[in-house]
Amino acid sequence: MKHFSRSPECVFYVCCGSKCKKSGGKQLYKQLKGEAKHHHLKSRVQIIKTGCTDRCKMGPIVAVMPKNEWHLQVTEEMAAGLLNEYLTPHRPK
């Protein structure tokens, strides 16, 4: 069995099922990917699209692991602060 030698600090699962996609899920996914790239966080965080997570009425949904925290009805404004909320500040060595 192979393992990643460096796993990310956290993983954001963005629901892009049909209902969440209509309510902005795909845009949130693009936004989070763009912010991670812009702030050079790609080695620290992973952004993954998922299918329906069976919470359609509360979409768009962003689940953050390993804390297992589910954010409901996420707006672009909320998504803007999510990366900061979960990533610990990088301290120089």
Q: Which residues bind ligand FES (CB under 6 A)?
A: 15, 17-20, 52-56, 59, 61
Least distance to ligand FES, CB of residue 74, Å: 11
Check the CA dihedral 12-52-50-24 and report its sign.
Answer: negative
Cβ-closest position to ligand FES:
17
Spatial contact of 43 and 82, defined as CB atoms under 8 Å apart: no
DSSP state of 79: H
Judged by CB, which is closer to ligand FES: 54, or 77?
54
Residue number with CB closer to ligand FES (31 or 41): 31
